[in-house]
């Protein structure tokens, strides 16, 4: 089976968390990263042994070798970046929130519906953290309400 080649756009705190997580997933290879801060992009690429490093996210999106892109950009860029990823025929895994409001999210879903072979997902990494799991347990047991 062919490994999926993954790229990450945005290498702040959450982007680095994605880089770390991807290393533990079988069948995927972190191949490219992009960040507007070239120094940070190069440092992270070297730290994680990533082959390609871009400062312009469009270059990563247009890289023919990349199959899947994780969008870890600031929230106000999610619509623009996700739509470009989808229209480039790449699978997308976006950080939350999907959009700044319901209209942006609706627009992305409409764009995605035009590309039925594209798989898209939204990350909500906190749901499995111990604190959130503790809250879930307390709610289930009626300790803190609904």
Q: What is the DSSP string of 26-67?
A: TTEEEEEEE-S-HHHHHHHHHHHT-SEEESSHHHHHT-TT--
Q: Assess contact for 72 and 10: CB atoms under 8 A.
A: yes
Q: Report the pLDDT value the prediction gives residue 125, as an integer from 0 to 100.
A: 66
CA separation for the pair 94, 77 (Å, rounded): 11
The residue whose two tokens read 């111990």 is 130
Token duo for residue 78: 């999610």
Q: Report the pLDDT value the prediction gives residue 129, as an integer from 0 to 100.
A: 74
Strand partners, 91: 68
Q: Report the pLDDT value the prediction gives residue 66, as an integer from 0 to 100.
A: 98
The tens-digit pLDDT sequence of the chain (146 residues) is: 789 999 999 999 889 989 998 988 999 999 999 999 999 999 999 999 999 999 999 999 999 999 999 999 999 999 999 999 999 999 999 998 888 999 999 999 999 999 999 999 998 766 667 888 898 899 999 998 77
Q: Report the pLDDT value the prediction gives residue 117, as an integer from 0 to 100.
A: 97
71 Cβ contact list (under 8 Å, min separation 6) = 9, 10, 77, 78, 81, 82, 85, 92, 93, 94, 95
Indicate the SS3 state at residue 143: coil
Q: Report the pLDDT value the prediction gives residue 23, as an integer from 0 to 100.
A: 87
């Amino acid at each position: 089976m062919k490994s999926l080649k993954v790229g990450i756009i945005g290498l702040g705190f959450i982007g680095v968390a994605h880089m770390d997580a991807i290393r533990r997933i079988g069948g995927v290879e972190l191949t490219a990263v992009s960040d507007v801060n070239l120094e940070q992009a190069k440092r992270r690429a070297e730290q994680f042994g990533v082959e390609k490093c871009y400062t312009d996210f469009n270059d990563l999106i247009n890289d023919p070798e990349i199959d899947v892109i994780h969008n870890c950009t600031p929230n106000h860029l999610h619509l623009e970046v996700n739509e470009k990823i989808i229209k480039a025929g790449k699978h997308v895994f976006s950080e939350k929130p999907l959009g700044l409001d319901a209209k942006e999210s609706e627009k992305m879903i409409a764009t995605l519906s035009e590309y039925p072979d594209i798989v898209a997902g939204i990350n909500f990494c906190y749901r499995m953290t111990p604190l959130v799991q503790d809250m879930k347990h307390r709610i289930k047991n009626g300790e803190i309400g609904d």
